[in-house]
Amino acid sequence: MRVIVTGGAGFIGSALVRHLVLEKGYDVLTVDALTYAGCKQSLTAVEGKTNHRFLKADIRDSAAMAEAIGSFRPDRIMHLAAESHVDRSITGAADFIQTNMVGTFVLLEAARGYWNGLDAQAKAAFRFLHVSTDEVYGSLGADGLFTENTPYDPSSPYSASKAASDHLAKAWHRTYGLPVVVSNCSNNYGPYHFPEKLIPLTILNALEGKALPVYGKGDNVRDWLYVEDHARALDLIAERGRPGETYNVGGRNERRNIDVVRRICSVLDVLVPTEQSREGLIAFVTDRPGHDARYAIDATKLETELGWRAQETFDTGIEKTVRWYLDNMWWWQPLRERYDGKRLGLDGKVE
Ligand code: NAD
């Protein structure tokens, strides 16, 4: 099996590459532009493996994409490259439009050109997995879950750009027959998560005795999934998902942001005791504009049709994650020094 993974130097992409290269033994080409969010150190575990290659390239570069796909000749393309941080999309949407929308269009076209030249058997077996987010569905009230039939209603420039890319991917299936499958997943957490995101930011600030910023009152609810459970789901969807279909991915682990932050404090207080609980560091900050109240995924289709189950609960996954950050300072320290709070969208406005 030959697989191209775009965005493979990112958080979820690197977990997927580790899974495909080390667990499955597939031949993998990672394509990544190494933006601020891309980190080759996240691929240390596959460095030197004969079944892994890395190409630094931008998905918006149509010649580079055609060349990469044409020469590697993949059975699958798994597309994760994206601008992914909601706060950054609010202060500067242009990169999100360019990479998430234009980049996805360029990649779909390059894939279509290659796919058109395959023989009938290879054409039928080929898959283009477009990896997306549950944020395309907008916000839920206190009840209900996002299903694959929930209408799109994105709130942020990030989720709007991802929604547009989902529509492009589905149109390339309906119009041209390209065997596209789309996955929409809830919030991920785990090792190699860029230090600007809520969970790693909380772990690292708590370790350093810094304020733990929480938007609004911390009431916003997210449905958390351990990143390695997501990587297994993506492999399964690419292998057995039906072209033209969407699969929702989620861990049935709804938590209020404030409870996530408190849980991290209590895990850290046990692993690295301090005189006072780190909960005292929690600082409520001005809410993000357009902040969705609640996301929650109904993953029944993935569970019943493809037999996927999350292996981690939130409690087991968060403890693994905290331990990983404690043991892997070599990975996060340089990133933290480079980006420390500068573009976290919080502007130091601690209330
Ligand atoms: P990330 O920001 O950690 O990684 C994105 C990667 O894409 C980086 O390595 C970056 O260098 C690369 N990239 C960015 N622009 C590029 C370009 N123009 N050309 C080539 N490479 C480029 O993101 P992530 O959290 O790993 O998310 C991966 C995918 O999964 C995204 O499509 C995201 O929308 C989706 N997703 C993320 C989550 C989550 O909780 N993180 C949940 C659901 C879906």
pLDDT at 289: 87
Kindly state if the Cβ of 231 falls inside 6 Å of ligand 1: no
Kindly state if the Cβ of 194 falls inside 6 Å of ligand 1: yes
pLDDT at 349: 32
Which whole number is the average pLDDT over 250-257? Answer: 94
Residue 95 pLDDT greater than 80, yes or no: yes
Mutate to test the pocket of ligand 1, among 4, 17, 84, 226 (most ligand atoms within 8 A of CB): 84
Kindly report, residue by residue over 24-45, the tens digit of the pLDDT. Answer: 999 999 999 999 999 999 999 9
Percent of the chain residues past pLDDT 90, beyond the cut: 91
Kindly state if the Cβ of 34 falls inside 6 Å of ligand 1: yes
Which whole number is the average pLDDT over 116-136? Answer: 98
pLDDT at 170: 98
- Rounded CA-CA distance 63/351 in Å is 49
Q: Mind telling me the catalytic residues?
A: 134-135, 158
Neighbouring CB atoms inside 10 A of 125's CB total 12
Mutate to test the pocket of ligand 1, among 5, 16, 17, 35 (most ligand atoms within 8 A of CB): 35
Residue 30's beta-bridge partner residues? 5, 54
Kindly state if the Cβ of 190 falls inside 6 Å of ligand 1: no
Kindly state if the Cβ of 241 falls inside 6 Å of ligand 1: no
Which whole number is the average pLDDT over 71-89? Answer: 96
pLDDT at 350: 30
Which whole number is the average pLDDT over 225-252? Answer: 97
Kindly state if the Cβ of 7 falls inside 6 Å of ligand 1: yes
Please give the single-letter amino acid code of residue 54: F
Structural domains for the chain: 2-186+229-250 (3.40.50.720)
Look up the pTM and report it: 0.95
Residue 273 pLDDT greater than 50, yes or no: yes
Question: Would you place residue 288 in the very low, low, confident or very high pLDDT band (cuts 50, 70, 90)?
Answer: confident
pLDDT at 340: 61
Q: What is the mean pLDDT of the chain?
A: 94
pLDDT at 196: 84
Kindly report, residue by residue over 317-342, the tens digit of the pLDDT. Answer: 999 999 999 999 999 998 988 766 44
pLDDT at 287: 86
pLDDT at 128: 98
Residue nearest to atom 37 of ligand 1 (CA): 133
Of 160, 337, 305, whose CA–CA distance to 240 is shortest? 305
pLDDT at 280: 96
Residue nearest to atom 17 of ligand 1 (CA): 58
Percent of the chain residues past pLDDT 70, beyond the cut: 96
ipTM over 0.95: yes
User: What's the CA-to-centroid distance between 138 and ligand 1, angstroms?
Assistant: 19
Pairing of strands 187-189, 180-185: unpaired
Alpha helices in the chain (DSSP H): 11-18, 62-72, 86-91, 94-96, 104-116, 120-125, 157-176, 198-207, 227-240, 257-271, 300-306, 314-327, 329-339
Q: Cβ-count burial of 91 within 10 angstroms (0-12 exposed, 13-18 middle, 19+ buried)?
A: exposed
pLDDT at 345: 36
